[in-house]
């Protein structure tokens, strides 16, 4: 079973980014196993088979958060999930603002799943006067002129950027000047920020290109296999 000791937090260690990207995947996988199959324990071998990963890699990743399994019994899922929640900060809600209340911004504003991962979207801001004081999923859309005051008053550190590309850098500069320390960028524009400000780019164009390429490779393989069988 997983050792019941307090795991490190993400701020206490410098974890490799590939590992950091996999931890939430393990968390979602184990949550499903616990809820849908009522499993109490899981081994790295089982996890690796289900997720198409290497079991050694999984064990190394989990060691980063202070979790170790036991031979034959593997990891206690309840304790492992608690380790992950503490490490990823899911137990400590982070407030955030969205800037840009177009179709994407409104979709993000209405997405309830963020709360499961410790992110609370407080409100959105938009430069379009027609959107001022709109309510989306119970959250208010405010005019841009209120951004700086609200960031400072509510001590918001996370900003989600969902504006058109041509506005991205200007709006990001305003967010940073107001006190935003982490920007989740949903535009394809590559932002420039001062030292000490974190940017996470969520480039959907890049993701779509990768998806389309993988699909083309899979279809080509299927055609080649079909041709191979036809010639037998």
Confidence of residue 3 (pLDDT cuts 50, 70, 90): very low
CATH fold match for the domains 17-88 and 94-201: no
Distance between terminal CA atoms of the chain?
51
Structure tokens at 171: 């709006």
> Which tens digits make up the pLDDT trace of 20-77?
889 999 999 999 999 888 889 999 999 999 999 999 999 999 999 888 888 878 899 9
Q: In CATH terms, is domain 94-201 a member of 3.30.70.980?
A: no
Assess whether pLDDT exceeds 90 at residue 148: yes
Kindly list the domain boundaries of the chain, sorted by start residue.
17-88, 94-201, 205-232
pLDDT at 115: 85
Q: Is the dihedral of CA 122, 185, 29, 221 positive or negative?
A: positive
Whether pTM > 0.95 for this model: the answer is: no
Confirm if 172 and 193 have CB atoms less than 8 A apart: yes
**In the CATH scheme, what is the code of domain 17-88?**
1.10.10.10
pLDDT at 90: 80
Confidence of residue 229 (pLDDT cuts 50, 70, 90): low
pLDDT at 232: 59
């Amino acid at each position: 079973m997983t050792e019941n000791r307090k795991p490190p937090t993400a701020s206490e260690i410098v974890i490799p980014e590939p590992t950091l990207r996999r931890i939430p995947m393990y968390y979602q996988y184990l949550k499903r196993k616990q809820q849908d199959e009522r499993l109490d324990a899981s081994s790295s071998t089982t996890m690796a088979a289900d997720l198409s990963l290497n079991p050694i890699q999984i064990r190394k990743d989990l060691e980063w958060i202070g979790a170790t399994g036991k031979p034959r019994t593997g990891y206690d899922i309840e304790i492992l999930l608690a380790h992950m929640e503490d490490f990823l900060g899911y137990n400590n809600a982070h407030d955030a603002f969205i800037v840009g209340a177009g179709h994407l911004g409104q979709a993000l504003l209405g997405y309830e799943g963020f709360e499961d991962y410790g992110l609370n979207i407080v409100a959105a801001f938009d430069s379009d006067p027609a959107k001022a004081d709109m309510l989306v999923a119970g959250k208010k859309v405010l005019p841009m002129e209120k951004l700086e005051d609200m960031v400072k008053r509510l001590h918001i550190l996370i900003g989600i950027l969902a504006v058109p590309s041509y506005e991205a850098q200007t709006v990001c500069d305003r967010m940073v000047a107001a006190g935003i320390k982490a920007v989740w960028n949903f535009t394809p524009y590559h932002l420039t920020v001062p030292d000490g400000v974190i940017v996470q780019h969520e480039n959907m164009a890049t993701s779509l290109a990768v998806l389309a390429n993988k699909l083309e490779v899979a279809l080509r393989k299927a055609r080649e296999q079909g041709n191979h069988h036809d010639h037998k």
